[in-house]
Structure 1
Amino acid sequence: MSRFGLGLRSKVILLSCFLFVLPWLGYEYVWEMEKYLREGQEKTLVGTTRALATALHERPALFENASEFTDKVEKGRDLYAYNINNAIRLDGELGDWQPYESLMWQYHGAYLQTPDDKHALEDLSFKHMVGKYGQHLYAVFAVKDDVLRLRPKNALSVDRNDHLKIAIKTPDGELKNYIIATRKEGWVNAFALPGLTPYTDIQGYFKPTIDGYNIELRMPLGMLGNKLGFAISDWDDTQQQHHLMATSNVEDANALGTVLLPSPEIKRIIKGMGHSGSRIWVVDKHHRVLAQSGTIQHADGVWASSLRETETQGLWQRFEERFLHPLYYQILTKPPSEFLDILHDVAALQGNHIASALRGEPASNWRITPDNKAVILSAAYPIWGNDQVLGAVIAEETTNGVRTLRNKALEKLFNVIIAVMLIGTISLFFFASRISSRIRRLRDSAEQAIDEQGRVRSQLSISNDSDEIGDLSRSFANIVNRLGGYTHYLENMSSRLSHELRTPVTVVRSSLENLQLIATEPQQQKYLTRAQEGVARLNKLITTMSEATRLEQSISTAARENYDLTQVVQGCMQGYAIAYPNALFDVKIEDTAMSVNGSADFFAQLLDKLINNALEFAQQGTAICVSLTEHQGQAVLAISNLGPRLPQEIGDHIFDSMVSVRGQDKQQQPHLGLGLYIARLIVDFHRGKIRAQNLEADEGVCITVSLPIG
């Protein structure tokens, strides 16, 4: 078995993983290429803004209305007329305003003309926006009012009930005020102040709601200048002070809020750039949007479609698209078809690059969309007029086009790299497989040549290959041959020793017996007795070695038969109870017949060895536990005793020849460590297993023998 967990083929495959450096190097190269492409895109976009700004230079008439704004634009007070895609149907339902709901501004207690600490949103608040479509300006008011008070039917006054007041600065610079006060739900017109003359150019619809009312208005753009304000007047009771909530102070022309209408002339100038995958903005010096053209959504489709036109969908392309692309795009990022664009329709643009352009310095900026799906490049360039900055041109593009080109380059590069890696890895794999198969054959041959006990069973086949593995095979064959000779010498040593020693021991013993007959001195008798004891021990050792040798020879020629293991164990245990009257035996034998194939005489000899071994090591006064059970088609014999534990490191070597764990106090008896070796030989003859283990709960050892039944 390999010392490490990896085979030769696995190691070669692992080493071939260094080929993955190639795609990493390719990725780094393409990434650097992408950086240069982004730098080029940034320069190109700055050039686009420069060209558009050049077309708007020295044309202050386009920025006349915007140039009259105050130095500070305040959202809520200063209004922006968003471009509306369709004409608004004046019905008070607000359904047409649903796409623009996020653009509506919430007016609350901070917009009260007379501050009131006790004011709540339910008392009076409203959402409002204005939009432009065609030649009309549309306005919407979603008012929350806890008490709705309409104009009484016969009332001469129109301002002592809930009403809407409008303040407009005309293109001639004149401030005009209008009021809308209705008696019921339905179509409404404005009254011009102060004479309450009906003014039919301002039209609308009034609709009560559960928590207030809605008002939709339409007025011609021609009547508007650059200032506009609205005020909602709430009268809960004619005898109490009313509340007035306004976008700005409609009573003061100087405090009136501004209104900005997108410039159609500027939009015509920049409209052509809206088809190039860029989005163009023109802002005034207050960051207010004067015109917008184009979109950056799906801009990568232009790049992708142009690339697809040059490709043919062959077999390889279909395979690549189905199998390789899912793998590639675990690493690559595919440009999204949809991403969150928070600047698709805004009234004002902010950013350091825009602020820099409004100071007269071109600048660019990179930003990530809020959903982290796209990177947007934005460039700003100032628009000059009369040596002053009138506004700025802002152009935006996503990097999706560059990312699409990068992905295409990486796809083709990865195709080549994967082909090289695949061919190289397969070649190395087959080379390693051939080497490893030769090594495995050599390993299997070496394992088959030597059995578990270390005996040489067969000779290794010699390889004729001239490489290192062939040399190793020939070296192993030579080693096994020499090991076989040495093992044969060791196997026959015990029989030769027992044969050679038996005659000298017999001569010594007979001589000692003759000397004992003629010795008269007590001291002489003492030495003769010790000599006879030593000779007896030598004779016992010789007998033991002969027994092991005879058993090995007997097993090799013994005939097998089926016998009842239960009867053999019961008979032997009855004999041990008589032979060892001072010993304690705890016997538990299942009362069922267990037929095993082998030799009953050999198994009785096995029991003799195990019982003698247990009696020798058992603590004084403790019982020898013997059990015979049937478990999963196996006859399980367990013999345990309390006493010394086996060393942890000895393992199954306890059943090897000439192995003993006896202490010095037990070495006074002749012993060669052959008892358990003989037991293992008998168990192997029965095709069973034997193992020794320490008892978990107590100090002691349990030897378990498992034999197949049948």
Structure 2
Amino acid sequence: MTLKRQLLIACLLMLLIPWAGLQFVLELDQALRQQAASQLERQTERLAGIIRRQPEAQLPLQPLPTRILYADALSRPLYLDGYGDDWPTWSEETDSAYTSPVTATEPVQWQAAVDRQNLYLLIRVRQPPGRYFDPGRPEEPHAHLRLYLTLDGQRHTREIRTPAPGPVVAQAKGTSGSSDFRVNGVWQATGQGYQVELRMPRPALNAPVGFEVWHPDTGKSGGYSVLGGMGYDGSKHLPHLIHPISALEAELQPLLAAGQRALVLHDNGWVLADGATPIAASETDFDQLGPWQIVEQIALNGLRAVLRRFQPDPTPLPEDASRYALNTIPKTGLVRHGDDESALVVRTTVKSRGTVPVTLVMEQSLNDILALSGDTLGRVIVRSAFFVGLLVLILLGYASWLSWRIARLQRNVAASFDGDGRLVQRMPASTAQDELGELSRQFSHLVDNLQGYTDYLESFARRLSHELKTPVAVVRSSLENLKHDTPDVAESPYITRAFQATDRLSQILQGMSEAARLEKSFDQVEPEIFDLADVAGQATAAYQSLDPEHEIHYVGPSAGCMMSGSPELIVQLLDKLVDNARDFTPKGEAIEVRLEDQGVYWRLQVYNAGPPLPEHLASEIFNSFVSLRERPQEGHLGQGLQIVRLITAYHRGQVHARNVLNPAGVMFDVMLPRQSPTHKK
């Protein structure tokens, strides 16, 4: 394992500190939610007691009918102008105050609202009126609205009719009905029909209230048809008016803590009271914060997001709805209205003095809990995580710097040697005063010593050849003189063996001199462009003509294999490889010279049948004084394959030897680049 990975593992173990802190914060968040849930249950019991003590006139005591005309509560009076842009249900996105969609078969939309004294209706008809009211002919069918009100226990029917768009006042039913100025409003024409905004006295809670839109229709008896609305049903029953009870909301509101919300629902889910105390907004002015504080705020927001993720999934509820499905509200747990923050919820049934119980839903926002658990220990965790992260980065940077220095030392050492283990350059000396600098200087000193020793070994052959030539000549001349001066010993086997030994020694010295001269001759060789296929083919043909005892042939293209180098040196390389192959190939067996295209290289191969190479010597046979011959032969001490390596290195190529199985034998691979090489000097 690398040093960088070891330090990375050590640094990652340090992340257990903020992880343990996060686990503690998660446990704290759960404990705070449990405590808040217990407090919310006690708060629910207190508010339930207040609801039980409400006067009977303030709560609908009877079960509600299926048809309800629900009116939202207003915080301020509406301005009657026939438009809905000041209604609380107005939406800028839809440019409408109507929350329910209308199909082609339902051309009437409506919206209701109440304040302390009045009931407001906003009615849109998506169909032209056909005919307005004509005061000169009041009996003629005309477009109008019929209101059904229950005021002070009495049923009233009022008509809204007008000769033209503008302000309107309700009339008693009939052609000569009197005006009821308590019901008034504005009639406005629209692109699809018309819209009427009305104001009237607020009926009692749960009182029968309704309206209908009447249009002229010659096909109906009486000349009218009901276009739509909330009027009488088939049983001659009107819908009942339900709206939030402002008195109940006013009594519950002071008891709600910050972030709490109380919903009082009728038995079928209609909202009777909706009170809430929002949490004071604490906006962060990033312009007044420093860089560290901005980072801390971002991290705290991220921690709060983590806490939300580990909280139970909340039950989705509609946002600011006028009716809730009671079976969708859990008795305890978490809920979320639209995109708002999650909230704890407690639902209980309150049995009042009447026959119909109401449902109290208490909610507590989790913002305070998130702020407490997220900020209190969150700042400690964020800061510790920041410093641990900073320490991790510092250690990783330091490890990367050490790794880079070690890798540079490794590259410098590797660059000092070529593929055959020969020293090619000195190592640069390091000026660092630490252990790695001292190690680099020791390596540089070692490479310098190896370079000197290598230079000595490379010059040893030349000096040894030079020094031994004279003694060998003296010994040979002495043997010649002895042979002539003493005829009796001329036929002695000792004299014969001495001659053989001197001849062999002379050939060895000649081979050593040949390798040395070859290295020196590289400086005088001028590279040229030649056809490697032509050189290999002609040389192979010459080898076959000189050695009829083996089958020597060439396999490859006949021409077109151009490369840059010395064709004479390539012939000398082939001479040594084929000569080596003849020594190990039984008579009558094949020796093949092959040439293949290998992209940016030409692969020149020499194959010979015969015994395999020992695996441990496959990479050493190209060194001097290494021979695999079973018996010593004259002049063979491994100099031939050393010359092959030198010529290959001059052409910036590579040479390898390997055993092959089918057919069994040995293959020498010489990879020669196509491009013009940069030769060693």
TM-score w.r.t. structure 1 length? Answer: 0.65
CA distance in 2 between counterparts of 1:655 and 1:352 reads: 90
Q: 1:115-144 deviations in whole A, cap 9, x for unaligned?
A: xxxxxx546521111112453211011112
2:276 partner amino acid: G
Equivalent runs, 1:463-612 vs 2, <5 Å: 549-551=512-514, 553-554=516-517, 558=520, 561-566=523-528, 576=539, 579-580=542-543, 582=545, 586=558, 605-606=572-573, 608-609=575-576
Equivalent runs, 1:649-668 vs 2, <5 Å: 653=619, 656-657=622-623
Q: 1:38 aligns with which of 30, 33, 39?
A: 33
2:184 is the alignment partner of 1:203: yes
Q: Flag structure 1 segments of 5+ consecutive residues without an equivalent.
A: 1-5, 109-120, 356-362, 508-513, 519-531
CA distance in 2 between counterparts of 1:615 and 1:624 reads: 16
Q: 1:3-31 deviations in whole A, cap 9, x for unaligned?
A: xxx52133222233122222222111110
Q: 1:222-279 deviations in whole A, cap 9, x for unaligned?
A: 6887220111223332656743255554389972111023222222212325672322
Q: 1:37-81 deviations in whole A, cap 9, x for unaligned?
A: 1111112222333333333332233534x22453xx53xx31121
2:109 is the alignment partner of 1:127: yes
| Structure-1 residue corresponding to 2:365 | 398
Q: Flag structure 2 segments of 5+ consecutive residues without an equivalent.
A: 309-313, 428-433, 470-474, 480-486, 546-552
Change in CA separation of 1:553 and 1:674 when aligned onto 2, cut-off 3 Å: closer
2:49 is the alignment partner of 1:49: no
CA-CA distance at 1:156 after TM superposition: 3.5
CA distance in 2 between counterparts of 1:192 and 1:536 reads: 154
Change in CA separation of 1:414 and 1:399 when aligned onto 2, cut-off 3 Å: same
CA contact (8 A) 1:60 1:385 kept: no
Equivalent runs, 1:4-153 vs 2, <5 Å: 6-61=1-56, 63-64=58-59, 66-70=60-64, 73-74=65-66, 77-97=67-87, 99-100=89-90, 104=98, 122=104, 125-133=107-115, 135-145=117-127, 148-153=130-135
CA contact (8 A) 1:57 1:384 kept: yes
Change in CA separation of 1:41 and 1:78 when aligned onto 2, cut-off 3 Å: same
Q: 1:169 aligns with which of 150, 168, 171?
A: 150
Change in CA separation of 1:238 and 1:451 when aligned onto 2, cut-off 3 Å: closer
2:30 partner amino acid: K
Change in CA separation of 1:249 and 1:692 when aligned onto 2, cut-off 3 Å: same
Alpha-carbon RMSD across the aligned residues, in angstroms, is 6.2
1:10 partner amino acid: R
CA-CA distance at 1:375 after TM superposition: 1.3
Of residues 374-383 and 132-141 in structure 1, the stretch that sits farther from structure 2 once superposed is 374-383
2:358 is the alignment partner of 1:364: no
Q: 1:271 aligns with which of 253, 262, 276?
A: 253
1:91 partner amino acid: D
| Structure-2 residue corresponding to 1:115 | none
Change in CA separation of 1:51 and 1:453 when aligned onto 2, cut-off 3 Å: same
| Structure-1 residue corresponding to 2:323 | 348
Q: 1:573-621 deviations in whole A, cap 9, x for unaligned?
A: 8995895574779455869xx799xxx9977744533575799999979
CA-CA distance at 1:333 after TM superposition: 0.9
CA distance in 1 between counterparts of 2:290 and 2:169 reads: 66
| Structure-2 residue corresponding to 1:118 | none
Change in CA separation of 1:554 and 1:663 when aligned onto 2, cut-off 3 Å: closer
Q: 1:311-362 deviations in whole A, cap 9, x for unaligned?
A: xx8xxx83433445545655641899xx99965533233334969xxxxxxx
- What secondary structure, in the 3-state scheme, does the structure 1 residue paired with 2:671 have? strand
CA-CA distance at 1:398 after TM superposition: 2.0
CA contact (8 A) 2:656 2:669 kept: yes
CA-CA distance at 1:399 after TM superposition: 1.0
CA-CA distance at 1:622 after TM superposition: 8.2
CA distance in 2 between counterparts of 1:538 and 1:104 reads: 121
CA distance in 2 between counterparts of 1:353 and 1:264 reads: 26
CA contact (8 A) 1:79 1:228 kept: yes
| Structure-2 residue corresponding to 1:411 | 379
Change in CA separation of 1:318 and 1:340 when aligned onto 2, cut-off 3 Å: farther
2:339 is the alignment partner of 1:377: no
CA distance in 2 between counterparts of 1:546 and 1:92 reads: 122
- What secondary structure, in the 3-state scheme, does the structure 1 residue paired with 2:189 have? strand
- What secondary structure, in the 3-state scheme, does the structure 2 residue paired with 1:414 have? helix
CA contact (8 A) 1:273 1:294 kept: no
- What secondary structure, in the 3-state scheme, does the structure 2 residue paired with 1:165 have? strand
CA-CA distance at 1:413 after TM superposition: 2.3
1:208 partner amino acid: A
CA contact (8 A) 2:62 2:355 kept: no
Q: 1:488-510 deviations in whole A, cap 9, x for unaligned?
A: 9xx99xx99x99xxx9xxx9xxx
- What secondary structure, in the 3-state scheme, does the structure 1 residue paired with 2:136 have? coil
Change in CA separation of 1:129 and 1:401 when aligned onto 2, cut-off 3 Å: same
2:292 partner amino acid: E
CA-CA distance at 1:568 after TM superposition: 10
Percentage of identical aligned residues? 17
CA distance in 2 between counterparts of 1:568 and 1:223 reads: 114
| Structure-1 residue corresponding to 2:644 | 679
Q: 1:288-319 deviations in whole A, cap 9, x for unaligned?
A: 322323355xx3736x88xx9xxxx8xxx834
CA distance in 1 between counterparts of 2:144 and 2:34 reads: 57
2:127 partner amino acid: D
CA distance in 2 between counterparts of 1:322 and 1:163 reads: 63
CA distance in 1 between counterparts of 2:503 and 2:163 reads: 134
- What secondary structure, in the 3-state scheme, does the structure 2 residue paired with 1:145 have? coil
Change in CA separation of 1:103 and 1:669 when aligned onto 2, cut-off 3 Å: farther
CA contact (8 A) 1:123 1:145 kept: no
CA contact (8 A) 2:63 2:267 kept: no
CA distance in 1 between counterparts of 2:280 and 2:61 reads: 37
2:641 partner amino acid: L
CA distance in 2 between counterparts of 1:186 and 1:544 reads: 131
| Count of matched residue positions in the alignment of Structure 1 and Structure 2 | 612
Change in CA separation of 1:344 and 1:332 when aligned onto 2, cut-off 3 Å: closer
Change in CA separation of 1:366 and 1:620 when aligned onto 2, cut-off 3 Å: same
CA contact (8 A) 2:119 2:200 kept: yes
Q: 2:199 aligns with which of 218, 230, 247?
A: 218
CA contact (8 A) 2:48 2:360 kept: yes
Q: 1:128-187 deviations in whole A, cap 9, x for unaligned?
A: 1111245321101111236723334533327x3332211112232x21111223332222
2:163 partner amino acid: R
| Structure-1 residue corresponding to 2:430 | none
- What secondary structure, in the 3-state scheme, does the structure 2 residue paired with 1:416 have? helix
Q: 1:333 aligns with which of 296, 305, 308?
A: 305
CA distance in 2 between counterparts of 1:536 and 1:290 reads: 131
CA contact (8 A) 2:317 2:336 kept: no
